[in-house]
Amino acid sequence: MPSKLEQLREMSVVVADTGDLTAIERYRPQDCTTNPSLILKAAQQPESADLVRDTITQAAGAGEDVERILDRLAVRFGVELTRLVPGVVSTEVPARLSFDTTAMVDKARTLISLYEAYGVARERVLIKLATTWEGVRAAEILEREGVRCNLTLVFSLEQAVAAAQAGAFLISPFVGRITDWYKQHEGRDAYAVEEDPGVRSVREIYAHFKGQGYATVVMGASFRSAAQVAALAGCDRLTVSPALLGELAGDEGVLERQLTPGEPVGEPEGRLSEGAFRWALIENRMAGEKLNEGIRSFHQDDLKLRRMVEAQLA
């Protein structure tokens, strides 16, 4: 019998959640996603040392500042990943820009121009933006320019709906981080998979999107276990860490489809207002806290990467 990973490929597009070039070669995903934390981890690996050193040396020699070097570093990892996967690679806009629509759009344009300078067409790239109200508006602008967006740090249905109504290509609901929050606040060590709050959240978003006929891709992310991945088999896309890809590759049990698109039903819902979006993040304590925590965490890793680059320049 084929492994669960091979069975999963028949139901969902499998995406690697990593910047580890070796892991990409091993598990042959369709797409690849990165974020500041993953870029930082990849940049510290011995096999990436030459790429990091060459990027910094060439950029510094051209008189570029640290900000430009960080952009180049993110794109260089992305370029290498496009050589290993047949699909798209996601590259994230710095977290500190998450509440500034204009700055996010400008940074996205910069990243796309760097990709194109390296010979990678914009069709191979997704720009990742935090799903703040400002991030949603940035995605709306970029999508009109032919720059496809991955709205990340999605913890609520309202965030997902706002992204879809803005025409975002893809959203990334964070399964594991939702579950982590509920474990902490409910004093639970674990959940049966059918009760798992993170799994249930993505299932709700998926069903809502298909019922409303939204074209936006739903990509479950931030998994804590192979069981969570299996519970979302059939979701449009699933981005999975190398460790869990390895676990699925080594399991030859039966994997059953859990999500099926179905046909759109009912009348289209009204457009979500800014006030309703912001209030939803106040009322949904988990979503509001995890969104802010995720932005803060990615920013901290951005700063660590910046310090690493500054140390090499010195």
The domain locations on the chain are 4-261+271-313
Closest of 196, 107, 94, 211 to residue 152, by C-alpha: 94
Residue 25 has pLDDT above 80, yes or no: yes
User: Is 128 tagged catalytic?
Assistant: yes
Question: Does the structure show a pLDDT above 80 at 287?
Answer: yes
If one counts every other C-beta atom within 10 angstroms of the C-beta of residue 137, the result is: 18
Q: How confident is the model over 25-47, as a mean pLDDT? A: 86
Q: What is the mean pLDDT of residues 127-144?
A: 98
Residue whose C-alpha is closest to residue 256's, from 236, 230, 225: 230
pLDDT at 19 over 90: no
Mean pLDDT is lowest, of 67-76, 133-142, 275-284, 305-314, for 305-314
| Cα 225 to the center of its chain, rounded Å | 17
Residue 192 has pLDDT above 80, yes or no: yes
Task: Say which CATH superfamily domain 4-261+271-313 falls into.
Answer: Aldolase class I (3.20.20.70)
178-183: Cβ within 8 A, 24+ apart: 178/286, 178/290, 179/224, 179/228, 180/224, 181/286, 181/289, 181/290, 182/286
Q: What is the mean predicted confidence (pLDDT) over 291-305?
A: 96
Assess whether pLDDT exceeds 90 at residue 233: yes
pLDDT at position 240 is 96
Compute the distance between CA of residue 281 and CA of residue 302 in angstroms, rounded to an integer.
Answer: 25
Longest dimension (CA), the chain: 61
Nearest to 196 by CA among 177, 210, 209: 177
* Cα–Cα nearest to 178, from 194, 199, 152: 199
Length of the chain: 314
Model pLDDT, residue 264 = 84
pLDDT more than 90, % of the chain: 82
Read off the pLDDT band of 48 (50, 70, 90).
Answer: confident
* Chain centroid to CA 139: 14
Tens digit of each residue's pLDDT (9 = 90 or more) over 255-281: 999 999 988 887 889 999 999 999 999
Q: Compute the distance between CA of residue 95 and CA of residue 103 in angstroms, rounded to an integer.
A: 11
* pLDDT higher than threshold 90 for residue 35: no
* Cβ-contact 105, 138 below 8 angstroms: yes
pLDDT digit string, tens, across residues 138-157: 999 999 999 999 999 999 99
Helix %, strand %, coil % for the chain, to 5?
A: 60, 10, 30
Catalytic one of 4, 107, 128, 290? 128
List b or e across 172-184, with b for residues whose CB sees 16 or more CB atoms inside 10 angstroms: bbbbbbbbbbbbe
Average pLDDT over the chain, rounded to an integer: 94
Q: Taking 90 as the threshold, does the pLDDT of residue 108 lie above it?
A: yes
